[in-house]
Amino acid sequence: MYDVNMVRADFPVLDREVSGHRLVYLDSANTSQKPRCVVGAVEEHYLHHNANVARAMHTLGAEATEAFEEARGKVAGFINAAGAEEIVFTKNASEALNLAANTLGARLAPGDEVVVSVMEHHSNLVPWQLACQRTGARLRWFDITEDGRLDLAKAHAEGLIGERTKIVSLTWASNVLGTVNPIQSIADQAHAVGAVMVVDGSQWVPQAPCDARASGADILVFTGHKMCGPTGIGVLWGRGALLAELPPFLGGGEMIEIVRMEGSTYAPPPHRFEAGTPPIAQAVGLGAAVDYLAGLGMADVHAHEQEITARILQGMASLDFIHVMGPTEMADRGGAVSFTVDGVHPHDLMQLLDSRGVAVRGGHHCAAPLHRRLGIQSSSRASGYLYTTKEDVDALIETLDWAHDFFTGRTRLRSL
């Protein structure tokens, strides 16, 4: 049985007080907290095994290389890749998506089309805008329905995915709306016209069991710091045959086979895409995070996340001045809950909640076009994770009620 209090004991930061109040950390869609085992793995590597990988032919170099490649294998197992050679380490999901846009984008020509959605994080929008600008391809996108889901009917009516489509790149779960998109069925449509399916899994891989090969994706990216791992490490998984076709993204050491002044040949994947000294200690930390999550069981993590998110939605529904963006039911929904509060700017709300120890995010969450589509400039966002308790959620709801009264001067009586 999942014991959230035992889980919390692995995260010392959750014992902190902020402004004299118990810390209630509800910003995990931004970055997750790190358990002791992850911090310890990074410390152990730096203190006892630090060396560069693949270059130094001495004991420390061999140990560092073994640890780095072992982490690659752990990540491959975590998402059910066909093998470690399908895992490319990057510095974050943004770099992984730029890798995809630059390598797949090299195939684009005028008249070709790339399909994204209006709910994308900037990291899954701007790289494709740049690729289309370079090549003369056209960028098109899914709109959303009133309840914050992809407007599949409109997309079908407009022939959004058609014979000109070369790439479809979508978020698996929105970092604003919480919407979980039907990746497999959209991938089927993309493949039917010969297009490649790219998926941003940054908000989904940390939350639920993931089978990359069964997902329909051809490329899947995610980031370590949202799944209990360190910052500075991201992952691109790609089907082996596709990766073998793609050109290098960055040039430098380790991504080459032979270098001559007249030209160079390149290493096979994944090393073809890992120029220079990679994020070694960060990969070791990510490997420890994968072990930690696997030990908890991702099905149990997901069930806990769903329970916590449902409680947040229920609590917000009891406050008539809060307006949730995106689905208000748990069907096909992730953990990010964005909302507005009548009469209160999200930045002001974020600061006032922080004065009571409650950490949420305020802004456009790197999804400005989505906010513009919804007719607002910014929003607040609460997001729990595997260490979030029911008491954390109750503290959020009580503090939102207090903050609204503070800003509006209205006294409200209600039972919590």
Residues carrying an active site annotation: 366
Which pair of tokens denotes residue 231?
A: 């910052």
Place of tokens 């600008």: 133
Residues in the chain: 416
Name the nearest CA neighbour of 11 among 292, 202, 222, 283: 292
DSSP 53-110: SSS--SHHHHHHHHHHHHHHHHHHHHTT-S-GGGEEEESSHHHHHHHHHHHHHTT--T
Please give the span between the terminal C-alpha atoms of the chain, in angstroms, as a whole number: 28
Place of tokens 């069981």: 297
Judge whether 10 and 37 are in contact, CB under 8 Å. Answer: yes
In angstroms, how far is CA 199 from the centroid of its own chain?
A: 10
The kind and range of the H/E element at 220 are strand 219-223
Place of tokens 């009264």: 405
